[in-house]
Amino acid sequence: MVWAAVMIGGLVVPFLDAPFRTWRQKFVLQRSHARLILLSLELDLVALWAMAKWFFHWDIGLVPATGALPLALGGLLLAILGAGLAAWAKVRLGKWFSATFGVKEGHVLVTDGPYGITRHPICTGILIALVGSTLVWNSTLTLVLAALMAVPLFFHTVYEEALFEHHFGGPYFDYQQRVPRLVPFVRRG
- Residue-by-residue pLDDT tens, the chain, 189 positions: 566 666 666 666 666 666 666 667 788 988 989 989 999 999 999 999 999 999 999 999 999 988 899 999 999 999 999 999 999 999 999 889 988 899 999 999 999 999 999 999 999 999 999 999 999 999 999 999 999 999 999 999 999 999 999 999 999 999 999 999 999 877 765
Q: Are 160 and 100 in contact (CB under 8 A)?
A: no
Which helix (H) or strand (E) covers residue 172, if one does? helix 170-178
Question: Domain extents for the chain?
Answer: 36-178
Instruction: Indicate whether this model's pTM tops 0.85.
Output: yes
CATH of domain 36-178: 1.20.120.1630
The reported pLDDT for the residue numbered 185 is: 77
30: three-class secondary structure by DSSP: strand
Contacts of 29 (CB under 8 A, 6+ apart): 102, 103, 163, 166, 167
